[in-house]
Structure 1
């Protein structure tokens, strides 16, 4: 009988770097590699413990003087869209979403570059090449999918492959307790469509259809204006030192 123990993941700590969210702060991360036969299981456990996945790395903040980054997950079965979200759903009723294996395309990368050039000109991803994008999508040892959102055209639903204009893309991990939105991007010219909000609403609906409880949104950074949208999707839980707890926006100061 083989009694050899399964190797435990090894964790590492990054060097301090300038925080991309809060001025004057420095960030550090603890990380491990998600590879091998247990990668999907480890991704589930680590995501539930506040980690995020980037390619074959799972990481979480380990900053010395700041605790602003808080893991967020939406309670899918209890979620009810507010009036503004219902308007977003109505505006995008002409959008078709199709799920594919985690494989990049030239069309996706073209949209990705338009999004970065408009929204993240000075970010750490601003100089990503087609190869970098392909690695971001393909370098996964877990159950990852690409969801493409296209404008419906005449004849859509007849062809196996929708051919309408590509409006948005989500890279999503399929987990045992829900969906984790790893990264998403969209055509910035369609600001009135609120495509970022629409993709989250679509993930909530998909999670409910799967009979699973959670949509993981990554980190909400208290004090960062560009992360404020994440708290609009209620009810949701935040990971605290006491575990996952319901977040009450009315008590947040």
Structure 2
């Protein structure tokens, strides 16, 4: 048994739901996280942002629900099959999670195209890599290219039983190729090929368009009342 110290943030405006306040439980920064400990925390609804590991701990809301795909049972729908067909020539290379200028430049283009109102649209180079990478986790950048041109990056944490999809960003010029969808589909298939059991997708939020898309990937499991449940059984 390992005792993990947590601290609770103060209330602040929710980033996902208008009019709601939010707070989080963070693993205390003095505690030394390891990949094995984080793998267990993932199973209990935690996520990481950079080196920080957290879970929602809101007073009056439970809309953020941890989601994962049991990859052996995943079956793409017609739209996802069309996305796979469009990306038959997309090339993927796994790289260390380190700063590259081309990645950072694309990250800024993506943020300014999709999330121009957010603080990450003006992230400096250190803010960018501190958000995506980690000093203690086995993290990779999956680099996607179309016709030899960088099109997307998927940030992946790897564990013996699972992969965790940390974040995906892409060049807006390739939006017609659905790079965000393809990045998830590729991670599902690669995790299955490497005999992992799950792909963790972060938080599903029913009433937030940016977070509700995760229910498009079936079967989906959600962590509710400390139990993983199949999405159709809610």
TM-score between both structures, scaled by the size of structure 1: 0.87
Give the Cα–Cα distance (whole angstroms) in 2 for the partners of residues 126 and 179 of structure 1: 27
Higher helix share: 2
Residue by residue over 1:22-47, the C-alpha shift from the partner in whole angstroms, topping out at 9 and shown as x without a partner, is 11100000011578875101110111
Cα separation, partners in 2 of 1:41 and 1:34, compared to 1, 3 Å: farther
RMSD: 1.8
Q: 2:110 aligns with which of 103, 111, 115?
A: 115
Aligned to 1:72: 67
Structure 1 partner of 2:54? 59
CA contact (8 A) 1:71 1:220 kept: yes
In the alignment, structure 2 segments of 5+ residues that lack a partner are none
Q: Which runs of 4+ in 1 moved over 3 A?
A: 33-38
Structure 1 window deviating more from structure 2 (118-127 vs 166-175): it is 118-127
What does residue 208 of structure 1 align with? Answer: 192
Report if aligned partners of 2:204, 2:212 keep a CA contact under 8 Å in 1: yes
User: Distance in 1 between the 2:32 and 2:118 partners?
Assistant: 33
1:49 paired to 2:44: yes
Work out whether 1:198 is the aligned partner of 2:182. Answer: yes
Distance in structure 1 (CA, Å) of the matches to 2:2 and 2:201: 29
Q: How many residues align?
A: 234
More deviation, 187-196/67-76: 187-196
Q: Which residue, out of 213, 231, 234, partners 1:247?
A: 231
* Contact 1:34–1:43 (CA under 8 A) maintained in structure 2: no
**Contact 1:36/1:141 (<8 A) preserved:** no
Write out aligned runs for 1:128-147 (5 A): 128-147=123-142
Distance in 1, Cα, partners of 2:203 & 2:226: 17
Deviation at 1:10, TM superposition (A): 1.5
Q: Provide, for residues 116-152 of structure 1, a one-character-per-residue CA deviation record: whole Å limited to 9, x for no partner.
A: 0011111232221112112234433011111100114
Higher CA-based Rg: 1
**Distance (whole Å) between structure 2 residues aligned to residue 216 and residue 83 of structure 1:** 22
Change (3 A) 1:230 1:187: same
Which residue in 2 is equivalent to 1:235?
Answer: 219
Partner residue of 1:221?
205
CA contact (8 A) 1:177 1:213 kept: yes
Partner SS for 1:77: helix
